[in-house]
Structure 1
Amino acid sequence: MRGLFVGLMTLDCIYQAQRPPQANEKLVAQEVMMAAGGPATNAAVAFAALGGQATVVAAVGQHPMTALLRDDMAQVGVQVQDLTPQRQASPPISSIVVSAATGDRAVISRNAAELQVPPQAIDLTDIDVVLMDGHQMELSVCVAKAAQRQGIPVVVDAGSWKAGFDQVLPLATVVIASANFHPPHGAALAYLQGLGIPYVAITHGERPIILSDGGTPGELAVPPTAVVDTLGAGDIFHGAFCYAWAGVFAEALASASQVASLSCQYFGTRAWIPHCISQTS
Structure 2
Amino acid sequence: MKNRGLFVGLITGDLIYLATRPPLPNEKVEAMDYCFTVGGPAANAAITFSHHGSQADLASFLGTEKLSLLLGDELRQHGINMINMNIEKSLEPPISSVIVTESTGDRSVISLNAKSLSGGDHTSVMQNLHTYDVILVDGHLMDTGAVIARKSNELSIPVVVDAGSWKPNFHVVLKYTDFAICSENFLPPNCKHQTDVVVYLQNLGVSAIAITQGQRPIRWWQGDRHGEIPVPQVKVVDTLGAGDIFHGAFCHYILEQDFVAALASAAEVASYACQFFGTRKWLEGDRFRSQ
TM-score by length of 1: 0.96
Is 1:131 the counterpart of 2:140? The answer is no
Q: Distance in 1 between matches of 2:39 and 2:165?
A: 17
**Contact persistence 2:87–2:120 (CA under 8 A):** no
Q: Which runs of 5+ in 2 are unaligned?
A: none
Q: Distance in 2 between matches of 1:202 and 1:14?
A: 27
Which residue is equivalent to 1:166? 171
Which residue is equivalent to 1:98? 100
Shift of 1:97: 0.4
Paired letter, 2:181: I
Q: Distance in 1 between matches of 2:131 and 2:32?
A: 44
Q: Deviation string for 1:230-274 (max 9, x for gaps)?
A: 000000000000000035100000000000000000000000012
Q: Distance in 2 between matches of 1:148 and 1:4?
A: 14
Q: Distance in 2 between matches of 1:83 and 1:42?
A: 18
Moved more, 66-75 or 181-190: 181-190
Q: Deviation string for 1:4-51 (max 9, x for gaps)?
A: 000000000011111111222222211111111101111001101111
Shift of 1:279: 7.0
Partner of residue 238 from structure 2, selected from 205, 216, 229: 229
* Secondary structure of 2:100 counterpart: strand
* Secondary structure of 2:285 counterpart: helix
Partner of residue 262 from structure 1, selected from 255, 258, 272: 272
Is 1:215 the counterpart of 2:224? The answer is yes
What percent of counterpart residues are identical? 46
**Contact persistence 2:51–2:288 (CA under 8 A):** no
**Contact persistence 2:253–2:266 (CA under 8 A):** yes
Which residue is equivalent to 2:180? 175
Shift of 1:280: 6.2
TM-score by length of 2: 0.93
Partner of residue 142 from structure 1, selected from 144, 147, 159: 147
Moved more, 237-246 or 84-93: 84-93
Q: Distance in 1 between matches of 2:188 and 2:216?
A: 21
Q: Deviation string for 1:174-216 (max 9, x for gaps)?
A: 0000011001033212211222211100001011111112231
Q: Distance in 1 between matches of 2:144 and 2:272?
A: 32
Moved more, 83-92 or 263-272: 83-92
Shift of 1:278: 6.5
Q: Distance in 2 between matches of 1:87 and 1:221?
A: 45
Is 1:199 the counterpart of 2:208? The answer is yes
Q: Distance in 1 between matches of 2:214 and 2:272?
A: 13
Which residue is equivalent to 2:263? 253
Partner of residue 253 from structure 2, selected from 232, 236, 244: 244
* Secondary structure of 2:83 counterpart: strand
Change (3 A) 1:215 1:275: farther
Q: Please give the root-mean-square deviation of Cα atoms over the aligned residues, in Å.
A: 1.5
Q: Distance in 1 between matches of 2:267 and 2:38?
A: 22
Change (3 A) 1:162 1:127: same
User: Aligned pairs, how many?
Assistant: 281
Q: Distance in 1 between matches of 2:152 and 2:121?
A: 14
Q: Distance in 1 between matches of 2:158 and 2:151?
A: 11
Partner of residue 30 from structure 1, selected from 29, 32, 35: 32
Q: Distance in 1 between matches of 2:136 and 2:230?
A: 24
Q: Distance in 2 between matches of 1:64 and 1:280?
A: 32
